[in-house]
A and B are shown apart, each in its own frame.
Chain A
Amino acid sequence: MSIAFYLIAALTLAGGLAAVLLKNTVHCALALTVAFAGLALLFLELDAQFAGFAQILVYIGAVAILVVFAILLTRGSETPKDGVYSRNWLAGLFIAAAVFAVLGWAVLQSAGGLPQGAVAAPTVTVLQIGNALVSRYVLPLEIVALLLTAAMIGAVIVAMHEKERQK
């Protein structure tokens, strides 16, 4: 648990907290982007190069932009007049704490099975990831590809329908 880990964790937590506490929705989206960046830095600190850079490329480069576009093209960019925080925030806090407790218990349970003492981190190269994707995990890969194709076709159909209705 080096100083770098604490700094990055603080950044991620700050981003996450800002994402729920800020009033302006677009500010929340940008704070979420900071949280994504923090996660990417955590991956890089653990020497998972591919995961870290893919996180930046996909989450910050695409998902954050998608979130921001969605906020802008709906009416979420206007600050709501009657406050942002819902009335039953206590129940929400309770549920969040419960989820955190479950996750924490799961992580700590599996931590017992890890090798004791300092072990060299396994270097996973992109070559190994690629090999695994096309040999052992080829079914998930193909399903994801199918899903993406379906999403693209759906988007095109939705957009096309609008054009026809206008005519």
Chain B
Amino acid sequence: MTGTMDQIFVLLQHWLTGFLPAAWQGPARVVLSVAVIVGLFPALFALTTVFERKGLGRIQNRIGPNRTGWLGILQPVADGIKSLTKEDIVPLSADGAVHFLAPVVLVVAVFMGFAVLPMGRKMVLVEMDAGLLFFFAMGASTELSVFMAGWSSRNKYSLLGAMRAVAQMISYEVPLLMSSVAVVMITGSLSLTRIVEAQDQYTWGFPHWYIFTPWGFAGFVMYAIAATAETNRSPFDLPEGESELVAGYHTEYSGFKFALFFLGEYLAMFSISGLGTTLFLGGWSAPFSWLGWIPSWIWFFSKLMLSIFVFIWLRGTLPRLRQDQLMNFAWKFVLPMTLLNLMVAALWRFLGEGWERWVICSAILVLAYVAMGRAGMHREHFGPRRYRYAE
């Protein structure tokens, strides 16, 4: 019974395509999976917008939207109708073709990323040997769309926002990849299904998720920081800072194109959280072996939604980082820590099983964290003013 529940979508897919002639079944299976992904994740996006607004509201001592439908659950419908019926304003001197293509490129690149995420046991759209590499390749394409949006608007502030956004995304791309490389090193494969299967083992009931290892925990923290920066989420949302740059690179977009940018940003958040769960939180595997009767896809989506709630929580807590603070942090703290993490992961592998490797690896990481925290993030201490006029 639990096996059937676990594989229910795969069985459904085979049953539905079974009605077609044999030659068409392969492509039909792919088309069906693609249709499900294209339908499911935007629906999840709509739900997330409500959760975000209500969650942020509660954190800020207020109720979120609660007038449209029970507990405000129909708010995304209202927002969708609004963005569809708004006038599509394109500035007169804007570059028409590029202005139109920018949101399209963003959404297409982000949707492609979902193709390699294993959402359940045997539930990957495309089983690729170099799945992780494909995911990061698609992530790199989103930077191009950000730049296209900012440049084609012919607006100084949009361009400035786009430049900042691209600089930020490129800077945090390196720690993102480096923290994933540690996982690849330990697993020995770039394929995401292999990575999840390697974490699907249990010792005394406890799972072998990589987050429960010293290098995995440090890697996960840095992956989370880099992921927050990659998707331009608070506290790294200076490029779209509403109080500084109006809306940054999507200032000149209105109506449906803006909704596409919004959708693209949230979908990027989903896919990068999905990758994070796959790499560090064990993907679709259950936390304890005796919980294995709950279907695997429920675990994957629960972990995904948990990551989203953490994103929302961070947004409600932290103030925005300034551009130079952001870049400082990336190059002077996160990148050295990820390189060290890579070496610690190698040490972990070569020390072999036993309690020594836990102690040594944890000690190295904690010491490095404290040392780099003191040295790398040097803050100026403001004393009493000793000059009369500014220089």
Contact = CB atoms under 8 A, between A and B. Distances in A.
Interface of A: 24, 26-27, 30, 33, 49-50, 53-54, 56-57, 60-62, 64-65, 68-69, 72, 125-127
Contact of A26 (B130, B143, B151, B166): B151
Interface stretch (B24-32, B66-74, B134-142, B264-272): B134-142
Q: Which 9 A-B pairs have the closest CB atoms?
A: A61-B140, A56-B137, A53-B133, A57-B137, A53-B137, A49-B130, A57-B140, A53-B134, A126-B190
Nearest to A44: B134
B148 interface: yes
A65 B147 contact: yes
Contact of B128 (A26, A49, A64): A49
A60 B173 CA distance: 14
Is the interface on chain B under 10, 10 to 19, 20 to 34, or 35 or more residues?
20 to 34
Nearest to B128: A49
14 contacts: A24-B95, A27-B95, A49-B129, A50-B130, A50-B133, A53-B130, A54-B137, A57-B136, A61-B139, A61-B141, A61-B143, A65-B147, A68-B151, A69-B163
Given A50-B133, A57-B133, A60-B140, A65 B166 contact: yes
Contacts of B143: 61, 65
Given A61-B141, A69-B166, A126-B129, 10 more contacts: A24-B95, A30-B148, A33-B144, A53-B130, A53-B136, A56-B141, A60-B141, A62-B170, A72-B151, A126-B130
Contacts of B372: none
Contacts of B104: none
Interface of B: 95, 98, 128-130, 133-134, 136-141, 143-144, 147-148, 151, 159, 163, 166, 170, 173, 188, 190
A65 B170 contact: yes
A49 B191 CA distance: 12
B137 A64 contact: no
Contacts of A65: 143-144, 147, 166, 170
Contact of B140 (A56, A69, A125): A56
Interface of B is mostly: helix
A127 B187 CA distance: 12
A61 B139 CA distance: 8
**Chain B CB within 10 A, most for which of A33, A54, A61:** A61
Contacts of A26: 98, 151
A33 B141 CA distance: 10
Contacts of B190: 126
A68 to B, nearest CB: 6
B340 to A, nearest CB: 18
Contacts of A30: 98, 148
Contacts of B173: 61
Nearest to A40: B137
Contacts of B134: 53
Contact of A27 (B98, B128, B137, B188): B98
A68 B163 CA distance: 11
A64 B140 CA distance: 11
Nearest to B167: A69
A62 B137 CA distance: 10
Nearest to A66: B170
B124 to A, nearest CB: 15
**Chain B CB within 10 A, most for which of A30, A49, A64, A69:** A30
A82 to B, nearest CB: 22
B329 to A, nearest CB: 18
A82 B129 CA distance: 51
A68 B143 CA distance: 12
A72 B188 CA distance: 42
A138 B166 CA distance: 33
Contacts of A62: 140, 170
Contacts of A49: 128-130, 133
Contact of A64 (B98, B130, B144, B151): B144
